[in-house]
């Protein structure tokens, strides 16, 4: 199908994201209520269809757009006209131009149109016999006999566009565990217990996927689709290989909450908690370009990638949090043959044998690079690499903070033969050491100092350029507050106000002089005369380059102090000339940050000559 999204679909999505619902002025509403006792023709709450499948069939033949309003209760895909009870292949197929909304009070209530998806929970259930036994561990979903007759897929979204919308429903009890006794395997029936999608772009909002099982993609399996998920939750789903006595094991057990194979799904404000899989307890991505914003992964577990596993592709994560996830490799995340881009993400309290926070392996392309910017790694633990384990390929960490991570080897980071580059970072309070192995570290605060593992390496000065060894003066690291104290101005996130301290962190205005300030404020908004705050260089640490970066006192930072020894002298000139006439991003000698080192930058060296701080 075409990757284009029509204007009508965009308008529908915009209204949906703003929490305004979808317009019905030009469309029809079909009512569904399991308790309605009228004509059951969907024309009103009193005459609502009892079975959702009847409403879906009605909507499919009606002019679009159509909204299906579903009252509180349980609805099963094997119930309805023309459907065989107990048919495991029955599913709720989403339809273009049809919005399916749950959470209504429904027939018999004082206000049947009242909508509260928690108070009036609407459940699409794959438990066809109504005999499911609740399990304490999602690992047990595969072998729980009471689920043997459950639907392979509670819902499907194959071939849809963004005008197919599922909003405010719980999808539960799917069981994609089928291995057919035939050489012609139908792999669809071992994937996507909650939802199965091939090349569809449906929209899911305010939905909960709970207690679903599959050989891959317990809650959702997405093959080549551009699904859009907003404010959805994946709780207690499982993906494990399934066994057939004739054909053996099938399914790779990937993506307990969600499994993506290709496609470009987009997730915003979604949560993954308590899911399990062989790989990717919360989510597994195999290729494609998934985009996640403000998503949370907590308490998930897997053999590889407790929170997330990226097996290729270019996943992009912004403002995402991984906490309390568990795995053998990559407690929070594991990346293998991919090139993810992580921005403003937090990895807190995850654990693994290797890579408590993240386990980075080889990327899929020689020219690709794995990157993490403005990320926090705190309280993670592992045998190797409490915060991060890196091997084989390029990894760039910029403006990241590592604190209170622990491991037998490499409390902050463990590097095994990869090209590991850190700039503008803070590594403090990790046990037993901050970095194990080689790394190019510059303009960073490293407890105990940093120098190349092999001091005979060429450009050894570059490997340790601009680094400092000083208490970064975090506001409250014991409670996860890694803002930098400042006598100028410092952002207080809880009250969302600017405040100040009695001391100033040495990491303020101490980053790479050639790094763009990005969103760092030059002055505090309510200080137009710049009497207190002024940043001339990017800060070290996770908030450097952001609008919440701590501000320096006037004159605190020296733009031309390239060695961070608090004076502009011949040592800085020696660094400056190493980059003469070079061009590109983030060159230390590019003092005016125009991506070129020339006489204009040398003039700034001269202007600040012999300045001290």
What's the confidence (pLDDT) of residue 216? Answer: 94
- For the segment 156-169, the average pLDDT, to the nearest whole number, is 98
What's the confidence (pLDDT) of residue 22? Answer: 42
Six-digit token pair at 35? 């308790």
Higher pLDDT, 357 or 144: 357
Contact partners, residue 298, CB within 8 Å, separation at least 6 = 271, 272, 273, 274, 307, 321, 322, 323, 324, 325
Contact between residue 350 and residue 376 where contact means Cβ atoms under 8 Å apart = no
Higher pLDDT, 79 or 180: 79
- For the segment 66-87, the average pLDDT, to the nearest whole number, is 97
pLDDT per residue over 518-529, tens digit each?
999 876 666 655
What's the confidence (pLDDT) of residue 451? Answer: 67
How sure is the predictor about 453, in pLDDT bands with cuts at 50, 70 and 90?
A: very low
pTM score, whole prediction: 0.92
Of 464, 560, 546, nearest to 514 by C-alpha is 560
**Cα–Cα separations (whole angstroms), residue 429 to 86, 106, 387:** 58, 56, 12
**Cα–Cα separations (whole angstroms), residue 138 to 142, 212, 228, 275, 380:** 8, 9, 25, 7, 24
User: What DSSP character marks residue 164?
Assistant: -
What's the confidence (pLDDT) of residue 38? Answer: 96
CA–CA separation, 200 and 459 (whole Å): 52
Higher pLDDT, 75 or 611: 75
What's the confidence (pLDDT) of residue 613? Answer: 81
Instruction: Convert 571-595 into a string of H (helix), E (strand) and C (coil).
Output: HHHHHHHHCCCCECCCCCCCCCCCC
- For the segment 286-290, the average pLDDT, to the nearest whole number, is 92
What's the confidence (pLDDT) of residue 526? Answer: 67
What's the confidence (pLDDT) of residue 338? Answer: 79
Of 350, 197, 178, nearest to 259 by C-alpha is 197
CA–CA separation, 128 and 515 (whole Å): 59
Of 6-20, 433-447, 457-471, least confident by mean pLDDT is 6-20
Of 57, 69, 60, nearest to 30 by C-alpha is 69
Of 469, 471, 487, 484, nearest to 564 by C-alpha is 469
What's the confidence (pLDDT) of residue 5? Answer: 37
How sure is the predictor about 455, in pLDDT bands with cuts at 50, 70 and 90?
A: very low
Judge whether residue 364 has pLDDT over 80: no
Judge whether residue 47 has pLDDT over 60: yes
Of 73-87, 189-203, 291-305, 383-397, least confident by mean pLDDT is 383-397
pLDDT per residue over 234-251, tens digit each?
999 999 988 766 566 666
How sure is the predictor about 533, in pLDDT bands with cuts at 50, 70 and 90?
A: low
Cis peptide before 65 (omega within 30 of 0): yes
- For the segment 4-29, the average pLDDT, to the nearest whole number, is 47
SS3 at position 60: helix
How many residues are there in the chain? 613
CA–CA separation, 282 and 421 (whole Å): 28
How sure is the predictor about 313, in pLDDT bands with cuts at 50, 70 and 90?
A: confident
Of 145, 149, 93, nearest to 124 by C-alpha is 93
Instruction: Name the average pLDDT for the chain.
Output: 89
What's the confidence (pLDDT) of residue 366? Answer: 53
What's the confidence (pLDDT) of residue 524? Answer: 66
Judge whether residue 295 has pLDDT over 50: yes
Judge whether residue 13 has pLDDT over 80: no
Please name every residue paired with 300 in a beta bridge, in sequence order, or none if there are none: none
Contact partners, residue 90, CB within 8 Å, separation at least 6 = 53, 77, 78, 83, 84, 151
Contact partners, residue 58, CB within 8 Å, separation at least 6 = 30, 42, 49
Six-digit token pair at 86? 């107990």
pLDDT per residue over 367-418, tens digit each?
567 899 999 999 999 999 999 999 877 889 999 999 999 999 999 999 987 7
What's the confidence (pLDDT) of residue 252? Answer: 78
Percent of the chain at pLDDT > 70 equals 88
What's the confidence (pLDDT) of residue 394? Answer: 80
Half-sphere exposure of 551 (CA within 13 A, CB side): 23
CA–CA separation, 548 and 506 (whole Å): 17
């Amino acid at each position: 199908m075409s990757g284009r999204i029509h204007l009508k679909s965009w308008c529908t999505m915009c209204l949906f994201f703003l929490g305004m619902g979808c317009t019905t002025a030009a469309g029809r509403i079909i009512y569904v209520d399991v308790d309605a006792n009228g004509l059951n023709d969907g024309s009103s709450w009193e005459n609502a269809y009892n079975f959702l499948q009847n409403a879906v069939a009605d909507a499919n033949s009606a002019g679009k757009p159509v909204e299906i309003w579903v009252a509180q209760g349980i609805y099963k895909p094997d119930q309805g006209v023309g459907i065989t009870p107990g048919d495991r292949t029955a599913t709720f197929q989403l339809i273009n131009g049809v919005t399916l909304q749950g959470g209504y009070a429904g027939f018999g209530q004082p206000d049947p149109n009242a909508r509260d998806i928690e108070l009036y929970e609407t459940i699409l259930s794959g438990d066809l016999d109504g005999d499911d036994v609740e399990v304490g561990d999602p690992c047990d979903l595969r072998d729980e006999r009471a689920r043997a007759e459950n639907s392979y897929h509670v819902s499907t979204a194959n071939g849809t566009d963004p005008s197919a919308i599922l909003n405010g429903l719980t999808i539960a009890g799917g069981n994609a565990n089928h291995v057919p006794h035939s050489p012609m395997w139908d792999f669809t029936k071992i994937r996507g217990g909650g939802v199965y999608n091939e090349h569809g772009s449906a929209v899911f909002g305010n939905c909960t996927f709970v207690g679903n099982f599959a050989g891959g993609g317990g809650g959702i399996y997405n093959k080549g689709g551009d699904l859009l998920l907003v404010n959805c939750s994946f709780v207690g789903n499982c993906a494990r290989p399934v066994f057939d006595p004739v054909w053996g094991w099938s399914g790779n057990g990937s993506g307990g909450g969600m499994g993506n194979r290709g496609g470009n799904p987009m997730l915003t404000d979604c949560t993954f908690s308590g899911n399990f899989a062989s790989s990717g307890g919360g989510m597994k991505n195999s290729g494609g370009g998934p985009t996640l914003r403000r998503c949370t992964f907590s308490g998930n577990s897997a053999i590889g990638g407790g929170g997330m596993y990226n097996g290729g592709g270019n996943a992009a994560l912004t403002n995402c949090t991984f906490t309390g996830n568990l795995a053998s490799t990559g407690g929070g995340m594991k990346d293998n043959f991919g090139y993810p881009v992580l921005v403003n993400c937090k990895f807190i309290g995850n654990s693994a044998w290797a890579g408590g926070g993240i386990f980075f392996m080889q990327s899929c392309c020689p020219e690709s690079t794995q990157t993490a910017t403005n990320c926090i790694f705190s309280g993670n633990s592992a045998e190797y690499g409490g915060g991060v384990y890196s091997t084989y390929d390029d990894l760039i960490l910029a403006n990241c903070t590592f604190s209170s991570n622990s491991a037998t080897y490499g409390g902050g980071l463990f590097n095994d033969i990869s090209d590991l580059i850190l700039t503008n970072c803070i590594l403090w309070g990790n046990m037993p050491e901050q970095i194990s192995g080689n790394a190019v570290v510059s303009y960073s605060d490293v407890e105990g100092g940093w120098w190349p593992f092999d001091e005979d390496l060429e450009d050894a000065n570059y490997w340790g350029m601009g680094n400092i060894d000083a208490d970064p003066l975090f506001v409250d690291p014991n409670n996860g507050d890694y803002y930098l104290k400042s006598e100028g101005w410092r952002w207080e996130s809880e009250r969302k106000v600017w405040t100040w301290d009695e001391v100033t962190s040495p990491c303020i205005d101490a980053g790479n002089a050639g790094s763009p300030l990005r969103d760092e404020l030059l002055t505090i908004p309510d200080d137009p005369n710049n009497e207190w705050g002024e940043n001339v260089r990017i800060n070290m640490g996770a908030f450097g380059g952001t609008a919440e970066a701590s501000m320096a006192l006037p004159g605190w930072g020296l733009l031309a102090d390239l060695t961070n020894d608090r004076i502009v002298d011949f040592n800085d000139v020696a660094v400056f000339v190493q980059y003469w006439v070079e061009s590109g991003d983030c060159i230390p000698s590019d003092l005016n940050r125009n991506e070129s080192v020339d006489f204009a930058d040398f003039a700034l060296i001269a202007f600040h000559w012999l300045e001290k701080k």
